[in-house]
Amino acid sequence: MPNLKDLKNRIESVKNTRKITKAMQMVAAAKLRRAQEAAEAGRPYAERFNAVLGGLAAASGGGDSAPKLLAGSGADQVHLLVVMTAERGLCGGFNSSIVKMARAKAEQLLANGKTVKILTVGKKGREQLKREYGDQMVAHVDLSGVRNVGYDNAQSIAIDLIHRFNEGEFDVATIFYNTFESVITQVPTAKQVIPASFDAPEEGASASTIYDYEPSEEGILETLLPSGVATQIFSALLENAASEQGARMAAMDNATRNAGDMIEKLTIQYNRSRQAVITNELIEIISGAEAL
């Protein structure tokens, strides 16, 4: 049986851990609210953008004149997986679930004889994938200095991707991120960004209107596609940020509760041991007195 002093130390230590996890949970809750607001604020733009681009793409889709970014490079050999994770851990299965999904996709592609390249956004994903796919990693985007992800971050990733695409480094790019559903559910999502794919516009929404285009339909499509890629990456980053905080909040809530349970158990054990020591001492005194 551990002695009383050890138990007491142990209880103190778990109490401190509980304080830390409790604080982290509260910080995550505050950040989550902000991240959710940001995600909501970004939604109208992304929706409109997708609707307009979707309409445009549908109109010119399949034609020979369609830009490369939309039509693809004509091949399906080299796949670039853009794995977006958090910069920090302690957020439950958040990072692992994205990595797991990306890994499954990579395995599947490799089994089909495709070439896989990996670009990571966020430190945690890189750490997890480095060992297995170290040779296939082409780049890493570090967002650790970024407090709140902005459109600039998304844009620079998009510019980099498009640049690589134009250089012929890959044929298909897919982004992996977590979609924020609620604090307890984040859904790992894979989305193909190059060649660009857009959700079909809603029936009868903009499809029925015939627009005039300035300068020209192709011209607009050409200028807007890169922004379209950036917009998709931006919404993924926002979703990811909200999911990360949600996951961290849930994980820390669990940790706090576990620490509480542990303190309870240890306290009971401590009290029992103390009682045992007292009883022991009493017995010793009594038997000592009797012996006299």
Q: Which is nearer to another protein, 1 or 200 (CB)?
A: 200
Q: How far is the CB of 155 from another protein (least distance, A)?
A: 8
Which of 29, 38, 78, 90 binds another protein (CB under 8 A)? It is 38
Distance CA 276, CA 284 (A): 12
Query: What one-letter code names the amino acid at 87?
Result: E
Query: What one-letter code names the amino acid at 76?
Result: D
Mapped onto helix, strand or coil, the DSSP state of residue 89 is: coil
DSSP 93: T
Catalytic position from the list 32, 39, 66, 91: 91
Q: Is 8 a catalytic residue?
A: no
Q: Pick the piece of the chain touching another protein (CB under 8 A) from 74-82, 98-106, 110-118, 204-212.
A: 204-212
Per CB under 8 A, 185 contacts another protein: no
CB 23 within 8 A of CB 279: no
Q: How far is the CB of 86 from another protein (least distance, A)?
A: 20
Stretch 141-180: interaction string toward another protein, x if CB under 8 A: ---------xx--xx---x---x--x--------------
Concatenated DSSP letters of 111-165: HTT-EEEEEEESHHHHHHHHHHHGGGEEEEE--TT-SS--HHHHHHHHHHHHHHH
Please state the φ and ψ torsions of residue 202, each to the nearest 5 degrees: -65, 150
Q: Residues 1 to 20: which contact another protein by CB under 8 A?
A: none
Per CB under 8 A, 205 contacts another protein: no
Distance CA 31, CA 232 (A): 22
Identify the helix (H) or strand (E) that includes residue 284.
helix 217-291
Q: Which is nearer to another protein, 127 or 218 (CB)?
A: 218
Active site residues: 91
Residues forming the site for another protein (CB under 8 A): 38, 41-42, 44-46, 48-49, 52, 56, 150-151, 154-155, 159, 163, 166, 209-215, 219-220, 223-224, 227, 230-231, 234
